[in-house]
Every structure is written in C-alpha cells, then in structure tokens.
Amino acid sequence: MISLTEVCAGVSGPSVPSGMVAPMQSRTPPTPPAPRTGGRPRSATADAAILEATRQGLVELGWSKLTLGAVATRAGVAKTTLYRRWAGKSELVVDAVAELFDELELPDRGSLAADIENVVLQFAVLLGRPETKTALMAVVAESTTDEPLRARIRESIVDRQKRLVLAGRERAQRRGELPVEPDAVGAARTADLIFDVIAGAVVHRALVSAEPVDEEWARRFTLLLLGGLAAAAAQT
C-alpha cells in the first residue's frame, strides 16, 4: 500500500500553515507494527472487515453491549488478530468512526452564512447516524482518564472537523466578510472559540437535547453566530 515511515516522518508540530483545504494525510493504520522488516504482511482486508464489523456492531448493540469477541466473529477474524492491532475497545471504535469523518467536505457556497449552514448540517448528518451517536460520547468519556486515547481522538476526529472551520474562515476573509486578525495568537484563540461553539452546539443539540438539527435550526444558529462574529470583529 503506502510506505508509512516517510509519511509519518516529521509530523510532530501542528505547524501546518493552517488554512489549506488540502486533505490530511490519509488514515494511518492501527498500531503500526514495529520495524516492518520481512515477514507476512498484515491483511488490509482484515482491517477493513474489522472496522466495518465494529460499525455494524455499534448500530445493533450500542457502545456498552459491543464486545470485541462479537466484532471478531462478525468480521470473520480471530479475536487474537484484533488484539494484535488495537489496544482495546476504545481505540478500535475511534478508528471505526473516524473513517466516517473523512467524508466531511466544505464546498464553497459563496457566502460565510451558507458555508456555516452547510458545515452544521454535515455535522448533523454524521451525528444522526447511530454508530457515531453512541460511539462519540463514549470514547470522549473514556478519554478523560486516558490521555493517549484523547490524542488519538484529536488527530482522527476533532482536527478533521476543525479543518472545515479554518477553511471557512479563510474563505470568508478572502471575500472580505471577516477581517484578517494580525495577531496570530488571538486569531488562533478566536478559531478555537468558534470551533467549540459550532461543534459544541451541534453535538449538544443532537445528543443531549436530542432534537433535530434541521435546516431551520441551522439557519437560526448561523444567524446567531454571524451576529456574534460581526460584533467581535468590531470590538477588535
């Protein structure tokens, strides 16, 4: 497939110019086996089957009743194979749902308002799926007592969402809808704030309030956020 060593080399700092819409490096396989010299290669088919079986299991059983034994059986794979690649249920599920977040895109709809509504509705679609519904909150809960897991979630899921926000902002700045903040630190904080507001509001609406994130809600939310952005910009 792809040689990982070179892809992974020098991916430490989050020092990407930020703003580019270019796709992140494509999904990295689970638990890269140490030095990869000779020997029988891991079956990519098995990987795919396991992740798919995980998602199916999440849909039918939910997070808490999902067992790794059942996933292995459904995937047509031995349980030991599964444990060779993932440390536990959390890591596996993160990778399984992370694939769904790869579908996220942000086409240019011509205005900041349209872009925001679009991204909100995309989040909503993802969070409407039963797999993500039950998995996302569970792994985040788990990550509160598991720092490596949190890092994995951030890389695989959160940053993937954040890209959309950054891209949207850059476009809006090009259109003149948003000012270019000269202070890099302040700009980053603003971006973080906006990201937490958007993602947080959608997640809360969809999972906690458990009410639909439809077009009307997206419109009202966008109106609110745009007004806030205008006021915040004026404040500067």
Task: Read off the amino acid at residue 184.
Answer: A
Q: How many alpha carbons fall within 13 Å on the CB side of residue 129?
A: 17
197 lines the binding site for its own copies (CB under 8 A): yes
Mask: binding to its own copies, 154-183, rule CB under 8 A, as x and -?
----x-------------------------
C-beta of 9 vs 208, nearer to DNA: 9
In eight-state DSSP terms, residue 76 is T
Chain centre to alpha carbon of residue 71: 22
Q: How far apart are CA 142 and CA 140, in angstroms?
A: 5
Q: How far apart are CA 179 and CA 217, in angstroms?
A: 26
> Which option in its own copies, DNA, none does residue 41 bind, with CB closer than 5 to 8 A by kind?
DNA
Which of 46, 50, 3 is closest to 28 using CA atoms? 3
C-beta of 2 vs 230, nearer to DNA: 2
Helix (H) / strand (E) element for 15: namely none
Task: Read off the amino acid at residue 179.
Answer: P
Instruction: Pick one of 53, 92, 138, 166: the residue that binds its own copies (CB under 8 A).
Output: 138
> Which option in DNA, its own copies, none does residue 42 bind, with CB closer than 5 to 8 A by kind?
DNA
Chain centre to alpha carbon of residue 84: 24
Mask: binding to its own copies, 54-73, rule CB under 8 A, as x and -?
--------xxx---------
Query: From the CB of 150, what's the least distance to its own copies, in Å?
Result: 6
Token readout for 51 is 């992740």
**Surface-to-core class of residue 226, CB atoms within 10 Å of its CB (0-12 exposed, 13-18 middle, 19+ buried):** middle
Query: From the CB of 99, what's the least distance to its own copies, in Å?
Result: 19
Interface positions with DNA (CB under 7 A): 5, 33, 35, 37-43, 46, 67-70, 76-81, 83-85, 88-89
Enumerate binding residues for its own copies (CB under 8 A): 62-64, 130, 133-138, 140-145, 150, 153, 158, 189-190, 192-197, 199-205, 207-211, 217, 220-221, 223-232, 234-235
